[in-house]
Amino acid sequence: MKSTPLVFDYQSSTPCSRTVLDAMAPYWIDVWGNPSNRQNSLGLHSSAAISVARDQLASLLKVSSQRLIFTSGATEANNLALLGYARARAIEKGFPGHLITLSTEHPSVLEPIRQLKKEGFRVTELQPREDGIIQIDQLIDAFQKDTMLVSIMAANNEIGVLQPIAKIAELCHERAVKFHTDLVQAFGNIPINFNQNGIDFYTISGHKIYGPKGIGLLVARDDLNIQPIQWGGGQENGIRAGTLPVPLIIGLTKSVEVSLSKLDYHSKRMRILLEQLWHGLNNELSDLILNGSFDQRLPNNLNFTVKGVNGTLLHKKLRPYLACSSGSACSNGSLSHVLLSLGRTAQEAESSLRLSLGRSTTSTDVASVIAVISKVVNHLRR
Ligand SMILES: Cc1ncc(COP(=O)(O)O)c(C=O)c1O
Protein backbone atom coordinates (compact mmCIF):
# COMPACT_ATOMS: atom_id res chain seq x y z
CA MET A 1 0.00 0.00 0.00
CA LYS A 2 1.34 3.42 -0.91
CA SER A 3 0.81 5.80 2.00
CA THR A 4 1.51 8.85 -0.16
CA PRO A 5 0.90 9.31 -3.85
CA LEU A 6 4.47 10.32 -4.65
CA VAL A 7 7.62 8.98 -3.01
CA PHE A 8 10.81 10.95 -3.53
CA ASP A 9 12.64 9.85 -0.40
CA TYR A 10 14.75 6.89 -1.44
CA GLN A 11 17.87 8.23 0.26
CA SER A 12 16.18 7.81 3.64
CA SER A 13 15.59 4.18 2.91
CA THR A 14 14.55 1.82 0.13
CA PRO A 15 12.01 -0.99 0.06
CA CYS A 16 13.49 -4.46 0.30
CA SER A 17 13.44 -5.92 -3.21
CA ARG A 18 11.50 -9.11 -3.96
CA THR A 19 14.71 -10.88 -5.07
CA VAL A 20 16.32 -10.02 -1.74
CA LEU A 21 13.26 -11.15 0.23
CA ASP A 22 13.20 -14.46 -1.67
CA ALA A 23 16.89 -15.04 -0.97
CA MET A 24 16.35 -14.38 2.76
CA ALA A 25 13.19 -16.46 3.14
CA PRO A 26 14.69 -19.89 4.03
CA TYR A 27 16.89 -18.36 6.72
CA TRP A 28 14.00 -17.24 8.93
CA ILE A 29 12.33 -20.61 9.45
CA ASP A 30 14.28 -23.45 7.83
CA VAL A 31 17.91 -22.57 8.52
CA TRP A 32 17.48 -20.84 11.84
CA GLY A 33 20.30 -22.17 14.02
CA ASN A 34 22.76 -19.96 15.83
CA PRO A 35 25.78 -19.66 13.52
CA SER A 36 28.12 -19.45 16.51
CA ASN A 37 26.98 -22.86 17.72
CA ARG A 38 29.12 -25.48 16.00
CA GLN A 39 27.86 -28.33 18.22
CA ASN A 40 24.94 -29.39 16.06
CA SER A 41 23.85 -29.36 12.44
CA LEU A 42 21.44 -26.44 12.94
CA GLY A 43 24.26 -24.11 13.88
CA LEU A 44 26.57 -25.61 11.30
CA HIS A 45 24.07 -24.97 8.49
CA SER A 46 23.71 -21.34 9.52
CA SER A 47 27.45 -20.95 9.86
CA ALA A 48 27.97 -22.48 6.40
CA ALA A 49 25.40 -20.10 4.90
CA ILE A 50 27.33 -17.14 6.34
CA SER A 51 30.62 -18.48 4.99
CA VAL A 52 29.15 -18.78 1.52
CA ALA A 53 27.65 -15.27 1.73
CA ARG A 54 30.91 -13.84 3.05
CA ASP A 55 32.88 -15.38 0.20
CA GLN A 56 30.38 -14.12 -2.33
CA LEU A 57 30.45 -10.61 -0.89
CA ALA A 58 34.24 -10.67 -0.82
CA SER A 59 34.35 -11.66 -4.46
CA LEU A 60 31.79 -8.96 -5.44
CA LEU A 61 33.83 -6.34 -3.56
CA LYS A 62 37.13 -7.84 -4.72
CA VAL A 63 38.59 -8.22 -1.24
CA SER A 64 39.54 -11.14 0.94
CA SER A 65 36.68 -12.41 3.09
CA GLN A 66 38.56 -11.73 6.35
CA ARG A 67 38.15 -8.05 5.63
CA LEU A 68 34.36 -8.05 6.06
CA ILE A 69 32.82 -7.14 9.42
CA PHE A 70 29.05 -7.39 9.69
CA THR A 71 27.36 -4.79 11.89
CA SER A 72 23.83 -3.66 12.73
CA GLY A 73 23.99 -0.87 10.15
CA ALA A 74 26.21 1.83 8.76
CA THR A 75 25.96 3.87 11.96
CA GLU A 76 27.64 1.08 13.88
CA ALA A 77 30.11 0.40 11.07
CA ASN A 78 31.18 4.08 11.04
CA ASN A 79 31.49 4.11 14.84
CA LEU A 80 33.49 0.91 14.81
CA ALA A 81 35.84 2.14 12.10
CA LEU A 82 36.51 5.52 13.66
CA LEU A 83 36.49 4.79 17.38
CA GLY A 84 37.99 1.34 16.88
CA TYR A 85 40.89 2.42 14.70
CA ALA A 86 41.69 5.70 16.48
CA ARG A 87 41.71 4.11 19.94
CA ALA A 88 43.79 1.12 18.83
CA ARG A 89 46.29 3.39 17.17
CA ALA A 90 46.48 5.68 20.23
CA ILE A 91 47.26 2.67 22.43
CA GLU A 92 49.95 1.56 19.97
CA LYS A 93 51.59 5.01 19.84
CA GLY A 94 51.02 5.95 23.45
CA PHE A 95 49.22 9.22 22.59
CA PRO A 96 46.04 10.31 20.77
CA GLY A 97 46.67 11.88 17.37
CA HIS A 98 45.01 14.11 14.81
CA LEU A 99 41.97 13.36 12.63
CA ILE A 100 40.45 15.13 9.65
CA THR A 101 36.85 15.09 8.50
CA LEU A 102 34.36 17.28 6.67
CA SER A 103 31.66 19.38 8.36
CA THR A 104 29.02 17.93 6.01
CA GLU A 105 29.53 14.27 6.99
CA HIS A 106 26.67 12.14 8.30
CA PRO A 107 26.17 12.34 12.10
CA SER A 108 27.33 8.73 12.39
CA VAL A 109 30.79 10.01 11.39
CA LEU A 110 30.73 13.43 13.03
CA GLU A 111 29.51 12.24 16.42
CA PRO A 112 32.09 9.47 17.01
CA ILE A 113 34.78 11.92 15.90
CA ARG A 114 33.44 14.46 18.41
CA GLN A 115 33.58 11.69 21.02
CA LEU A 116 37.23 11.11 20.12
CA LYS A 117 37.85 14.82 20.63
CA LYS A 118 36.56 14.44 24.18
CA GLU A 119 39.05 11.60 24.61
CA GLY A 120 41.97 13.87 23.74
CA PHE A 121 42.30 13.49 19.96
CA ARG A 122 42.67 16.67 17.92
CA VAL A 123 40.19 17.13 15.08
CA THR A 124 40.10 19.30 11.98
CA GLU A 125 36.60 19.66 10.52
CA LEU A 126 37.04 21.04 7.02
CA GLN A 127 34.37 23.24 5.44
CA PRO A 128 33.46 22.39 1.86
CA ARG A 129 33.32 24.95 -0.93
CA GLU A 130 29.98 26.58 -1.73
CA ASP A 131 29.18 23.71 -4.11
CA GLY A 132 29.54 21.21 -1.26
CA ILE A 133 32.81 19.72 -2.46
CA ILE A 134 36.01 19.63 -0.45
CA GLN A 135 38.89 21.91 -1.43
CA ILE A 136 41.84 19.62 -1.95
CA ASP A 137 44.32 22.35 -1.02
CA GLN A 138 42.59 22.78 2.32
CA LEU A 139 42.96 19.07 2.95
CA ILE A 140 46.65 19.18 2.03
CA ASP A 141 47.13 22.09 4.44
CA ALA A 142 45.25 20.28 7.19
CA PHE A 143 47.60 17.28 7.41
CA GLN A 144 49.76 17.40 10.52
CA LYS A 145 52.74 15.33 11.62
CA ASP A 146 50.55 13.02 13.68
CA THR A 147 47.45 12.89 11.44
CA MET A 148 46.33 9.28 11.69
CA LEU A 149 42.94 9.20 10.04
CA VAL A 150 40.82 10.99 7.46
CA SER A 151 37.12 10.25 7.10
CA ILE A 152 35.31 11.74 4.11
CA MET A 153 32.20 10.31 2.50
CA ALA A 154 31.96 9.52 -1.21
CA ALA A 155 28.48 11.00 -1.71
CA ASN A 156 26.55 13.28 0.58
CA ASN A 157 23.23 12.02 1.88
CA GLU A 158 21.56 15.44 1.82
CA ILE A 159 22.93 17.26 -1.19
CA GLY A 160 24.22 14.29 -3.18
CA VAL A 161 27.58 15.86 -4.03
CA LEU A 162 30.45 13.53 -4.87
CA GLN A 163 33.75 14.05 -3.11
CA PRO A 164 36.98 13.30 -5.00
CA ILE A 165 37.70 10.20 -2.94
CA ALA A 166 40.27 8.79 -5.37
CA LYS A 167 42.37 11.94 -4.96
CA ILE A 168 41.84 12.00 -1.19
CA ALA A 169 42.86 8.33 -0.95
CA GLU A 170 46.00 9.06 -2.94
CA LEU A 171 46.96 11.99 -0.68
CA CYS A 172 46.38 9.90 2.44
CA HIS A 173 48.32 6.98 1.01
CA GLU A 174 51.32 9.18 0.22
CA ARG A 175 51.37 10.30 3.86
CA ALA A 176 50.66 6.88 5.38
CA VAL A 177 47.44 8.30 6.84
CA LYS A 178 44.49 5.90 7.02
CA PHE A 179 41.43 6.82 4.98
CA HIS A 180 37.88 5.82 5.84
CA THR A 181 35.00 6.60 3.51
CA ASP A 182 31.27 6.27 4.11
CA LEU A 183 29.92 4.74 0.90
CA VAL A 184 26.34 4.41 2.11
CA GLN A 185 24.80 6.71 -0.49
CA ALA A 186 27.32 6.16 -3.25
CA PHE A 187 27.11 2.39 -3.28
CA GLY A 188 25.09 1.10 -6.21
CA ASN A 189 24.64 4.59 -7.62
CA ILE A 190 28.10 5.46 -8.90
CA PRO A 191 31.04 3.25 -9.88
CA ILE A 192 33.64 2.90 -7.13
CA ASN A 193 37.07 1.39 -7.28
CA PHE A 194 36.98 -0.52 -3.99
CA ASN A 195 40.55 -1.61 -4.39
CA GLN A 196 42.06 1.77 -4.96
CA ASN A 197 45.25 2.16 -2.98
CA GLY A 198 44.62 4.35 0.00
CA ILE A 199 41.01 3.39 0.76
CA ASP A 200 41.66 1.58 4.01
CA PHE A 201 38.11 1.04 5.16
CA TYR A 202 34.60 1.80 4.03
CA THR A 203 31.03 1.43 5.15
CA ILE A 204 27.80 0.34 3.47
CA SER A 205 24.23 -0.15 4.66
CA GLY A 206 21.65 -2.78 3.62
CA HIS A 207 18.54 -0.65 3.67
CA LYS A 208 19.89 1.99 1.30
CA ILE A 209 20.40 -0.56 -1.47
CA TYR A 210 17.02 -2.37 -1.48
CA GLY A 211 18.18 -4.75 1.21
CA PRO A 212 17.02 -5.26 4.79
CA LYS A 213 17.25 -2.77 7.65
CA GLY A 214 19.49 -3.63 10.58
CA ILE A 215 22.56 -4.76 8.67
CA GLY A 216 25.67 -2.89 7.65
CA LEU A 217 29.15 -3.77 6.57
CA LEU A 218 32.56 -2.46 7.44
CA VAL A 219 35.22 -3.46 4.93
CA ALA A 220 38.63 -2.95 6.49
CA ARG A 221 42.17 -3.72 5.36
CA ASP A 222 43.27 -6.82 7.23
CA ASP A 223 46.39 -5.18 8.64
CA LEU A 224 44.30 -2.52 10.40
CA ASN A 225 44.19 -2.81 14.13
CA ILE A 226 40.61 -2.09 15.22
CA GLN A 227 39.52 -2.17 18.86
CA PRO A 228 36.04 -3.52 19.51
CA ILE A 229 33.39 -1.11 20.74
CA GLN A 230 31.30 -3.94 22.20
CA TRP A 231 32.30 -7.20 23.81
CA GLY A 232 30.69 -10.62 24.12
CA GLY A 233 31.05 -13.95 22.35
CA GLY A 234 34.03 -12.98 20.20
CA GLN A 235 32.28 -13.11 16.81
CA GLU A 236 33.88 -11.43 13.78
CA ASN A 237 37.37 -12.22 15.08
CA GLY A 238 36.58 -10.50 18.35
CA ILE A 239 36.06 -7.14 16.63
CA ARG A 240 32.26 -7.18 16.72
CA ALA A 241 30.62 -9.47 19.24
CA GLY A 242 27.02 -10.59 18.80
CA THR A 243 25.12 -13.40 17.09
CA LEU A 244 25.27 -12.86 13.36
CA PRO A 245 21.84 -12.21 11.76
CA VAL A 246 21.88 -14.92 9.09
CA PRO A 247 18.86 -13.77 7.01
CA LEU A 248 20.06 -10.16 7.02
CA ILE A 249 23.54 -11.19 5.88
CA ILE A 250 22.04 -13.25 3.05
CA GLY A 251 19.83 -10.26 2.17
CA LEU A 252 22.73 -7.81 2.23
CA THR A 253 24.75 -10.08 -0.04
CA LYS A 254 21.90 -10.34 -2.55
CA SER A 255 21.31 -6.59 -2.49
CA VAL A 256 25.01 -5.91 -3.10
CA GLU A 257 24.99 -8.38 -6.01
CA VAL A 258 21.91 -6.80 -7.62
CA SER A 259 23.08 -3.22 -6.98
CA LEU A 260 26.43 -3.79 -8.64
CA SER A 261 25.01 -5.72 -11.58
CA LYS A 262 22.36 -3.07 -12.33
CA LEU A 263 24.40 -0.01 -11.43
CA ASP A 264 24.97 1.23 -14.94
CA TYR A 265 21.35 0.85 -15.99
CA HIS A 266 19.83 2.51 -12.90
CA SER A 267 22.32 5.34 -12.63
CA LYS A 268 21.94 6.36 -16.30
CA ARG A 269 18.15 6.19 -16.06
CA MET A 270 18.06 8.22 -12.85
CA ARG A 271 20.38 10.90 -14.20
CA ILE A 272 17.96 11.44 -17.12
CA LEU A 273 15.06 11.73 -14.66
CA LEU A 274 17.09 14.08 -12.47
CA GLU A 275 17.66 16.43 -15.40
CA GLN A 276 13.96 16.27 -16.26
CA LEU A 277 13.15 17.12 -12.64
CA TRP A 278 15.49 20.06 -12.21
CA HIS A 279 14.80 21.60 -15.62
CA GLY A 280 11.07 21.05 -15.21
CA LEU A 281 11.01 22.76 -11.81
CA ASN A 282 12.97 25.70 -13.17
CA ASN A 283 10.59 26.05 -16.10
CA GLU A 284 7.68 26.33 -13.70
CA LEU A 285 9.24 28.27 -10.83
CA SER A 286 11.68 31.12 -10.38
CA ASP A 287 14.09 31.60 -7.49
CA LEU A 288 15.12 28.04 -6.81
CA ILE A 289 18.68 27.68 -5.55
CA LEU A 290 20.39 24.39 -6.20
CA ASN A 291 22.24 23.06 -3.16
CA GLY A 292 25.48 21.40 -4.19
CA SER A 293 27.13 20.91 -7.55
CA PHE A 294 24.85 19.65 -10.33
CA ASP A 295 27.61 17.88 -12.25
CA GLN A 296 29.44 16.20 -9.37
CA ARG A 297 26.28 14.68 -7.96
CA LEU A 298 24.55 11.39 -7.35
CA PRO A 299 22.11 10.58 -10.14
CA ASN A 300 19.26 10.19 -7.64
CA ASN A 301 19.52 13.34 -5.52
CA LEU A 302 18.15 16.83 -5.93
CA ASN A 303 18.31 19.39 -3.15
CA PHE A 304 17.20 22.97 -3.58
CA THR A 305 16.06 25.99 -1.63
CA VAL A 306 12.76 27.62 -2.50
CA LYS A 307 13.15 31.35 -2.01
CA GLY A 308 10.28 33.45 -0.75
CA VAL A 309 8.31 30.81 1.12
CA ASN A 310 8.02 29.76 4.73
CA GLY A 311 9.78 26.40 5.06
CA THR A 312 7.47 24.98 7.70
CA LEU A 313 4.42 25.80 5.59
CA LEU A 314 6.07 24.45 2.46
CA HIS A 315 6.70 21.07 4.05
CA LYS A 316 3.27 21.00 5.67
CA LYS A 317 1.45 21.76 2.41
CA LEU A 318 3.49 19.23 0.45
CA ARG A 319 3.15 16.41 2.97
CA PRO A 320 -0.26 15.07 1.82
CA TYR A 321 0.99 14.74 -1.76
CA LEU A 322 4.67 14.01 -1.48
CA ALA A 323 7.09 12.08 0.73
CA CYS A 324 10.42 13.89 0.65
CA SER A 325 12.82 15.35 3.22
CA SER A 326 14.25 18.67 4.19
CA GLY A 327 17.56 17.06 5.08
CA SER A 328 18.91 13.87 6.55
CA ALA A 329 16.45 11.30 7.86
CA CYS A 330 18.50 11.28 11.05
CA SER A 331 18.34 15.02 11.74
CA ASN A 332 15.29 14.82 14.03
CA GLY A 333 13.84 17.96 12.57
CA SER A 334 16.83 20.16 13.46
CA LEU A 335 18.29 22.51 10.85
CA SER A 336 20.49 20.84 8.28
CA HIS A 337 24.15 21.19 9.28
CA VAL A 338 24.99 20.45 5.64
CA LEU A 339 23.02 23.37 4.22
CA LEU A 340 24.33 25.69 6.94
CA SER A 341 27.87 24.59 6.03
CA LEU A 342 27.22 25.65 2.43
CA GLY A 343 26.36 29.11 3.71
CA ARG A 344 22.57 28.87 3.58
CA THR A 345 20.72 30.88 6.23
CA ALA A 346 18.50 29.11 8.75
CA GLN A 347 15.46 30.31 6.82
CA GLU A 348 16.85 29.02 3.53
CA ALA A 349 17.75 25.68 5.10
CA GLU A 350 14.18 25.37 6.33
CA SER A 351 12.68 26.02 2.93
CA SER A 352 14.83 23.42 1.19
CA LEU A 353 13.69 20.14 -0.25
CA ARG A 354 15.63 16.94 -0.77
CA LEU A 355 14.05 14.85 -3.49
CA SER A 356 15.60 11.43 -3.97
CA LEU A 357 14.75 9.09 -6.78
CA GLY A 358 14.51 5.33 -6.65
CA ARG A 359 14.67 2.40 -9.02
CA SER A 360 10.90 2.52 -9.54
CA THR A 361 10.63 6.28 -10.13
CA THR A 362 9.21 7.04 -13.57
CA SER A 363 9.13 10.04 -15.84
CA THR A 364 5.41 10.35 -15.03
CA ASP A 365 6.26 10.54 -11.30
CA VAL A 366 8.74 13.29 -12.10
CA ALA A 367 6.14 15.23 -14.09
CA SER A 368 3.68 14.83 -11.19
CA VAL A 369 6.15 16.01 -8.57
CA ILE A 370 6.98 19.08 -10.67
CA ALA A 371 3.26 19.87 -10.88
CA VAL A 372 2.68 19.36 -7.14
CA ILE A 373 5.64 21.45 -6.02
CA SER A 374 4.85 24.23 -8.51
CA LYS A 375 1.25 24.39 -7.38
CA VAL A 376 2.13 24.54 -3.67
CA VAL A 377 4.96 27.05 -4.11
CA ASN A 378 2.90 29.33 -6.35
CA HIS A 379 0.10 29.21 -3.81
CA LEU A 380 2.45 30.09 -0.93
CA ARG A 381 4.10 32.89 -2.87
CA ARG A 382 0.79 34.51 -3.74
C1 LIG B 1 25.73 8.73 4.46
C2 LIG B 1 25.10 7.89 5.53
N3 LIG B 1 25.88 7.27 6.44
C4 LIG B 1 25.38 6.51 7.41
C5 LIG B 1 24.02 6.33 7.54
C6 LIG B 1 23.49 5.46 8.64
O7 LIG B 1 23.07 4.23 8.10
P8 LIG B 1 22.22 3.17 8.96
O9 LIG B 1 20.81 3.61 8.85
O10 LIG B 1 22.48 1.87 8.27
O11 LIG B 1 22.73 3.19 10.34
C12 LIG B 1 23.16 6.97 6.63
C13 LIG B 1 21.70 6.84 6.78
O14 LIG B 1 20.95 7.77 6.52
C15 LIG B 1 23.71 7.76 5.60
O16 LIG B 1 22.94 8.37 4.70
Instruction: For 227-275, give the DSSP string.
Output: --SS-SS-TGGGTS-S---HHHHHHHHHHHHHHHHTHHHHHHHHHHHHH
Contact 276, 366 (CB under 8 A): yes
**DSSP state letters, 24-36:** HTHHHHTS-S-TT
Question: What 3-state class would DSSP assign to 188?
Answer: coil
Pocket probe for ligand 1: among 106, 162, 209, 328, the residue whose CB has the most ligand atoms within 8 Å is 106
**Which one of 3.40.50.2300, 3.40.630.30, 3.90.1150.10, 3.50.50.100 gives the CATH number of domain 6-15+263-381?**
3.90.1150.10
Per-residue pLDDT of the chain (382 residues; tens, 9 = 90+): 445 679 999 999 999 999 999 999 999 999 999 999 989 999 999 999 999 999 999 999 999 888 899 999 999 999 999 999 999 999 999 999 999 999 999 999 999 999 999 999 999 999 999 999 999 999 999 999 999 999 999 999 999 999 999 999 999 999 999 999 999 999 999 999 988 889 999 999 999 999 999 999 999 988 899 999 999 999 999 999 999 999 999 999 999 999 999 999 999 999 999 999 999 999 999 999 999 999 999 999 999 999 999 999 999 999 999 999 876 555 566 899 999 999 999 999 999 999 999 999 999 999 999 999 999 999 999 9
The closest alpha carbon to 54, from 250, 258, 262, belongs to 250
Domain-by-domain residue ranges, the chain? 6-15+263-381, 19-261
Cα of 369 to ligand 1 centre, how many Å?
Answer: 25
CATH no. of 19-261: 3.40.640.10
Q: Which atom of ligand 1 is nearest to the CA of 105?
A: 1
Q: Tell me how far CA of residue 366 lies from CA of 114, 130, 247, 352, 357, in angstroms.
A: 39, 27, 35, 18, 9
Cα of 182 to ligand 1 centre, how many Å?
Answer: 9
Ligand 1 surroundings by CB, under 6 angstroms: 73-75, 106, 108, 153, 157, 182, 184-185, 205, 216, 329-330
Query: Which residue blocks in the chain are alpha helix, DSSP H?
Result: 18-24, 26-29, 41-61, 74-93, 107-118, 136-142, 165-174, 246-261, 263-284, 311-318, 337-341, 346-350, 363-381
Indicate if the alpha-carbon torsion angle 50, 55, 61, 66 is positive or negative: positive
Contact 127, 133 (CB under 8 A): no
Question: Does 330 qualify as catalytic in the annotation?
Answer: yes
Q: Which atom of ligand 1 is nearest to the CA of 328?
A: 14
Cα of 205 to ligand 1 centre, how many Å?
Answer: 7
Contact 81, 203 (CB under 8 A): yes
